[in-house]
Structure 1
Amino acid sequence: MKKFVCFLLAALVCGAACAKQPDALFYLMGTRKSINSFTAHIDKIGTLVPTWYGVDKQGLVNGAPDPYVLELSKQHRLPVMPIISMTDGRDGFHQFMHDETAKQHMIESMLQQAEEYGYVGYQFDFESISWTDRDAFTLLAKQTAEALHKHGLKLSIAVVPNAPGHAGGGQFAKWMWQYWRGVYDIAALSKYADLICLMTYDQHTRWTVPGPVDGMPWMLEQLKYALKYVPKEKLSLGIALYGYHWFTGNPVRADGTESSNIEGAYMDADESIPLARERHITVQWDPVEHESWYYFYRDDMREWVFMPDAHSFRDRYDLVKQYGLEGFCSWVLGSEDPKVWDELPVVSR
């Protein structure tokens, strides 16, 4: 009886302690502060996705790993899954997807470099694609995934959230569907890809009025929609680490013409937090959107800052665990509130 009780207690303890932690996927840019963040927090990163590769319309893959980042990743047994993106724009990508020879060139290069550098796979980060190329994009994912899988490699795909599944009513929603959301057949893509990274950020952008980067009601809507088509074991929730600063720009254009010019610029935590402190601003917390924000005046005009911080990160990380998702994907190392790292455990490798 005593042995059984001990076994039961051990099982209960392990159930709490041995439960799989969500995979912490972080994107890495080639900037100094991005690499510094990677170096400082490597033991809390589950998968590293660096922005090392691009492909042109002829299928030529260009790029190379950062030797320091690659060596440190190997020392820490950190899986590296580089991004591959398009370098020739929307029309170039359309041409590429309808060229079987070009696609084969890309796949062969991906396989060669994965073997040379020890990557676990790649992530497709193809954006700004016409919705009319939906089937062509799915075919590209299928062909690439099948080739990678034969060599023990993985394919993940970053997708723009596309609830409610159609273009919506307004002209901006129509434009978003035409060139950003409509191309991703997430049900089909999830059959071939090993992981779908749902980019649940940039709800509001430089194209829009000021607002949360990834407000919680919007994020929940997009997550629940995606879960209708993607198994939770294959779904990674996008969590923004950067913020936005909206302000009135120069009304005089480079060509001398005049027009309204409301600008939205990226603002990382190493800028937004000090700015609030310098101007003696009390940062506000929105309990509905679960995001921090503030405003201030310059030249008698209000400027807005929305800043995902450690509090907003914690709430979204809790969402990942609540829904039992594979993990989360955060753009981008170096932009985060330093206190974000207090929310994450050390990764067991």
Structure 2
Amino acid sequence: MKRSAWLLIAMLVCSTVCAKQPDALFYLMGSQKSVNSFVAHVDKIGLLVPTWYGVDNQGLVSGGPNLYVLNIAKDHRLPVMPIISMSAGRKGFHDLLHDEIAKQHMIEAMLQQAAEHGYTGFQFDFESISWTDRDAYTLLVKQTAEALHKRGFKLSIAVVPNAPGHAGVGPFSKWMWQYWRGAYDVAVLGKYADLICLMTYDQHTRWTTPGPVDGMPWMQAQLTYALTIVPKDKLSLGIALYGYHWYTGDPVREDGTEASNIKADYIDADESFPLAEQQQANVQWDSVEHESWYYFYRDDMREWVFMPDAHSFRDRYALITQYGLEGFCAWVLGAEDPKVWDELPVAKR
């Protein structure tokens, strides 16, 4: 057989065998069930991102690791990249962004904590930011990334998906752009950060009417847009492991006035599956949105539950290979359908 033929065969084999395993990033909260899920499935997690740190408007970083979790991660050679988020609200974050001394305090604390605990770096998870602070946030990312990189650490950023790149038509879309989507200059952030976690979930929330948590058409539209401005090897697809439960709340406010009150709460698999059984609900599969859902009546009023499960996870996991992405970022450990883990390989370290 000619050498060229052997090379072709080797390339074809390597395209399937040597392909990089998608990185499985999982977020960890402080709840016991989140920790339990981590312990049970540590070998299938590629990067652990715990919610351990916050920063205030003066740059004071507070928090620290769960040493039980951290030691298990080290024993399994699992990299840890904690979240740092804002603890002082939108106004507090605005103040931080425009205070060079406060920013330096924050960066120095991040460097100290990363070195002390052996983190691979940090993830910025700053949300509810005014669109007018877009450039100031980009500058903070640049300054932080440069400082971390100089010391051998990485910076990842969680961003709210913002296709089509501007405010939409209705008032809700305008509000979303003002305080959620508009603050992320994703193209520039992708140049400074080592990884962009695209939060392709919360399409429908407590702020909206009932609907899928991360419907497939919406997710693909957001992903397609993001890929026009961020290299695919820096892009991690957000996958929701939790659901929402919509119902009618108390119409009487604390001050005695009355108003419509449609409520929506987070609901995890350990609650949504039993609730469907208790209410004898017919769990349905939406073949367009690729998400399971059901409804039932209580006090003659319909309640809705949208519940990402192993089926919906499998379909979204397939997108990573289809688009050649770096991997996925799943919120949050402890919320998942246990069968999700059957869809994942053991992580390569």
TM-score, with structure 2 as normaliser: 0.97
The answer (yes or no) to whether the contact 2:34–2:333 under 8 Å persists in 1 is: yes
| Residue 4 (structure 1) shift | 9.7
Q: What secondary structure sits across from 1:270 in the alignment?
A: helix
The answer (yes or no) to whether the contact 2:22–2:325 under 8 Å persists in 1 is: yes
Q: What secondary structure sits across from 1:36 in the alignment?
A: helix
- State the Cα deviation string for residues 136-161 of structure 1 (Å, max 9, x = none): 00000000000000011100000001
- State the Cα deviation string for residues 71-107 of structure 1 (Å, max 9, x = none): 0000000000000000010001001000000000000
Number of the residue aligned with 2:133: 133
| Residue 221 (structure 1) shift | 0.7
Number of the residue aligned with 1:90: 90
Number of the residue aligned with 1:113: 113
| Residue 233 (structure 1) shift | 0.5
Query: For residues 17 and 261 of structure 1, what CA distance do their matches in structure 2 show?
Result: 54
| Residue 19 (structure 1) shift | 1.2
Number of the residue aligned with 2:71: 71
Look up the equivalent residue of 2:133 and give its one-letter code.
D
Q: What secondary structure sits across from 2:113 in the alignment?
A: helix
Query: For residues 12 and 90 of structure 1, what CA distance do their matches in structure 2 show?
Result: 51
The answer (yes or no) to whether the contact 2:198–2:235 under 8 Å persists in 1 is: yes
Alignment of 1:1-349 (within 5 A): 12-349=12-349
Query: For residues 36 and 45 of structure 1, what CA distance do their matches in structure 2 show?
Result: 13
Q: What secondary structure sits across from 1:329 in the alignment?
A: strand
- State the Cα deviation string for residues 168-227 of structure 1 (Å, max 9, x = none): 111110000000000000011011000000000000000000000000010011001111
Moved more, 18-27 or 239-248: 18-27
Query: For residues 126 and 95 of structure 2, what CA distance do their matches in structure 1 show?
Result: 14
**Cα distance change on mapping 1:9 and 1:169 into 2, 3 Å:** closer
Q: What secondary structure sits across from 1:85 in the alignment?
A: strand
Q: What secondary structure sits across from 1:68 in the alignment?
A: helix
Look up the equivalent residue of 1:217 and give its one-letter code.
P
Q: What secondary structure sits across from 2:142 in the alignment?
A: helix
Query: For residues 222 and 4 of structure 1, what CA distance do their matches in structure 2 show?
Result: 41
Look up the equivalent residue of 2:172 and give its one-letter code.
F
Query: For residues 17 and 274 of structure 1, what CA distance do their matches in structure 2 show?
Result: 40
- State the Cα deviation string for residues 306-346 of structure 1 (Å, max 9, x = none): 00000000000001110000000000000000000000000
Query: For residues 276 and 316 of structure 1, what CA distance do their matches in structure 2 show?
Result: 23
Q: What secondary structure sits across from 1:289 in the alignment?
A: coil
TM-score, with structure 1 as normaliser: 0.97
- Runs of 4+ aligned residues of structure 1 deviating over 4 Å after TM superposition are 1-14
Query: For residues 205 and 106 of structure 1, what CA distance do their matches in structure 2 show?
Result: 31
Look up the equivalent residue of 1:111 and give its one-letter code.
L
| Residue 280 (structure 1) shift | 2.2
Query: For residues 237 and 174 of structure 2, what CA distance do their matches in structure 1 show?
Result: 24
The answer (yes or no) to whether the contact 2:246–2:264 under 8 Å persists in 1 is: yes
Look up the equivalent residue of 1:248 and give its one-letter code.
T
Q: Percent identity?
A: 78
Query: For residues 139 and 271 of structure 1, what CA distance do their matches in structure 2 show?
Result: 42
Look up the equivalent residue of 2:160 and give its one-letter code.
V
| Residue 279 (structure 1) shift | 2.1
How many residues are aligned here? 349
Look up the equivalent residue of 2:91 and give its one-letter code.
D
The answer (yes or no) to whether the contact 2:141–2:189 under 8 Å persists in 1 is: yes
Q: What secondary structure sits across from 1:21 in the alignment?
A: coil
Look up the equivalent residue of 1:333 and give its one-letter code.
L
Q: What secondary structure sits across from 2:184 in the alignment?
A: coil
Look up the equivalent residue of 1:103 and give its one-letter code.
K
Look up the equivalent residue of 1:132 and give its one-letter code.
T
**Cα distance change on mapping 1:224 and 1:11 into 2, 3 Å:** closer
Query: For residues 72 and 195 of structure 1, what CA distance do their matches in structure 2 show?
Result: 24
Q: What secondary structure sits across from 2:30 in the alignment?
A: coil
The answer (yes or no) to whether the contact 2:282–2:295 under 8 Å persists in 1 is: no
Look up the equivalent residue of 2:269 and give its one-letter code.
A
| Residue 234 (structure 1) shift | 0.4
Query: For residues 63 and 43 of structure 1, what CA distance do their matches in structure 2 show?
Result: 26
Q: What secondary structure sits across from 2:123 in the alignment?
A: strand
Look up the equivalent residue of 2:98 and give its one-letter code.
H
Query: For residues 276 and 51 of structure 2, what CA distance do their matches in structure 1 show?
Result: 31
Query: For residues 9 and 139 of structure 1, what CA distance do their matches in structure 2 show?
Result: 48
Query: For residues 98 and 2 of structure 1, what CA distance do their matches in structure 2 show?
Result: 65
Query: For residues 100 and 3 of structure 1, what CA distance do their matches in structure 2 show?
Result: 61
Q: What secondary structure sits across from 1:257 in the alignment?
A: coil
> Which segments of 5 or more consecutive residues in structure 2 lack a partner in the other structure?
none
- State the Cα deviation string for residues 286-322 of structure 1 (Å, max 9, x = none): 0000000000000000000000000000000001110
Q: What secondary structure sits across from 1:189 in the alignment?
A: helix
